Structure 1
Amino acid sequence: MIPLAALPTPALLVDLDRLERNIAAMAGAFAAAGVALRPHVKTSKCWEVARRQLAAGAIGFTCSTAAEVAWLQSHGVGDLLWAHIPIGPRKVRFVVDAIAQHGGGLTVSLDSVEAARPLSASAFAAGITVPFVLEVNTGHARLGVEPSSAVATATAIASLPGLRLRGVLTHEGHISALADRPALEEAGSTAGALLVSVADALRTAGFLVEVVSVGSTPGATSTPFVPGVTEGRPGTYVYYDANQTRLGSCTLDQCAQTVLATVASVQRAGRPIIDAGIKAMSSDAIAAAGGVGLVLDRPDVTFPEANEEHGFLVGSGLAVGDLVRLVPNHACGTTNMWSHLYAVRGDMAVERWEISARY
Structure 2
Amino acid sequence: MIPLDALPTPALLVDLDRLERNIADMAGAFAAAGVALRPHVKTTKCWEVARRQLDAGAIGFTCSTAAEVAWLQSRGVGDLLWAHIPIGPRKVAFVVDALLRHGGGLTVSLDSVEAARPLSAAAAAAGVTVPFVLEVNTGHARLGVEPSTAVAIAAGIAALPGLRLRGVLTHEGHISASADRAALESAGAAAGALLVSVAGDLRTAGHEVEIVSVGSTPGATSTPFVPGVTEGRPGTYVYYDANQTRVGSCTLDQCAQTVLARVASVQRAGRPIIDAGIKAMSSDAIAAAGSVGLVLDRPDVVFAEANEEHGFLLDGGAMPLAVGDLVRLVPNHACGTTNMWSHLYAVRGDHAVERWEISARY
TM-score, with normalisation over the residues of structure 1?
0.99
Q: What secondary structure does 1:213 align onto?
A: strand
Distance 1:16 1:103 in 2: 35
Q: What's the RMSD between the two structures over aligned residues?
A: 0.3
Q: CA deviation at 1:70?
A: 0.1
**CA deviation digits over 1:324-358, x for unaligned, max 9?**
00000000000000000000000000000000000
Give 1:77 shift: 0.0
Distance across 2 between alignment mates of 1:290 and 1:180: 20
**1:165-197 CA-partner distances (Å, limit 9, x unpaired):** 000000000001111000000000000000000
Q: Following the alignment from structure 2 to structure 1, what is the Cα–Cα distance between the partners of residues 268 and 136?
A: 52
Extract structure 1 runs of 4+ deviating beyond 2 A: none
Looking at structure 1, the residues matched to 284 and 274 of structure 2 have their Cα atoms a distance apart, in angstroms, of: 19
SS of alignment partner, residue 13 of structure 1: strand
Q: Whole-Å Cα distance in 1 between the matches of residues 218 and 111 of structure 2?
A: 24
Deviation, structure 1 residue 121 = 0.2
**Matches of 1:244 and 1:304, distance apart in 2:** 18
Q: Secondary structure of 1:343's partner? A: strand
CA distance in 2, matches of 1:289, 1:200: 40
Other structure's SS at 1:221 match: coil
Point out where structure 1 has 5 or more consecutive residues left out of the alignment. none
SS in 1 for 2:200: helix
Q: Give 3-state SS (helix, strand or coil) of 1:220's partner.
A: coil
CA shift for structure 1 position 128: 0.4
Secondary structure class of the residue paired with 1:186: helix
Shift of 1:214: 0.1
Partner residue in 2 for 1:321: 324
> Per-residue CA shift, 1:181-226, capped at 9, x if unaligned?
0000000000000000000000000001000000000000000000
Provide the C-alpha distance between the structure 1 equivalents of 2:71 and 2:283, rounded to a whole number of angstroms. 26
Partner of 1:78: helix, strand, or coil?
A: coil
The answer for the alignment partner of 1:343 in structure 2 is 346
Partner in structure 1 of residue 218 of structure 2: 218
Instruction: For residues 99-151 of structure 1, give each alpha carbon's deviation from its aligned partner in whole angstroms, at most 9, with x where no partner exists.
Output: 01000000000000000000000000000000000000000000000000000
1: CA distance, partners of 2:188 / 2:287: 17
**Secondary structure at the residue paired with 1:193?**
helix
Deviation at 1:290, TM superposition (A): 1.2
State the distance in 2 between where 1:20 and 1:250 align: 15
Report the Cα offset of residue 275 of structure 1: 0.1
Displacement of 1:24 after TM fit? 0.1
- Structure 2 alignment gaps of length 5 or more: 315-320
1:209-267 deviations in whole A, cap 9, x for unaligned? Answer: 00000000000000000000000000000000000000000000000000000000000
Q: What is the CA distance between 1:7 and its match in structure 2?
A: 0.3
Secondary structure, in 3 states, of the residue corresponding to 1:203? helix
Q: CA deviation at 1:36?
A: 0.1
> Which residue of structure 2 aligns with residue 89 of structure 1?
89
CA deviation vs aligned residue, 1:274-309 (integer Å, no higher than 9, x gap): 000000000101111110000000011110100110
1: CA distance between counterparts of 2:324 and 2:156? Answer: 63
CA distance in 2, matches of 1:176, 1:91: 30
What is the alpha-carbon distance in structure 1 between the residues aligned to residue 200 and residue 304 of structure 2? Answer: 47
Say yes or no: does 1:357 pair with 2:360. Answer: yes
**What is the distance in 2 between the residues matched to 1:99 and 1:34?**
29
Encode CA deviations 1:69-107: one digit per residue, 9 max, x unaligned.
000000000000000000000000000000010000000
2-structure distance, mates of 1:144, 1:241: 27
- 2:297 equivalent in structure 1: 297
Q: Deviations over 1:298-323 (max 9, x none)?
A: 01111010011000001xxx100000
Q: Counterparts of 1:306 and 1:81 in 2: how far apart (Å)?
A: 35
After TM superposition, give the deviation of residue 13 of structure 1 in Å: 0.1
CA distance in 1, matches of 2:219, 2:285: 18
Alpha-carbon distance in structure 2 between the residues aligned to 1:173 and 1:88: 26
Specify the alignment match of 1:165 in structure 2: 165
Alignment of 1:1-359 (within 5 A): 1-314=1-314, 318-359=321-362
Q: Aligned equivalents of 1:72 and 1:290: distance in 2?
A: 36
Secondary structure of the residue that 2:175 maps to in structure 1?
A: helix
Secondary structure of the structure 2 residue equivalent to 1:188? helix
> Residues of 1 paired with 2:136 and 2:188: CA distance?
14
Q: Distance in 2 between matches of 1:286 and 1:31?
A: 31
Counterpart secondary structure, 2:219: helix
SS at match of 2:179: coil
Shift of the alpha carbon at 1:155?
A: 0.2
What is aligned with 2:317? none
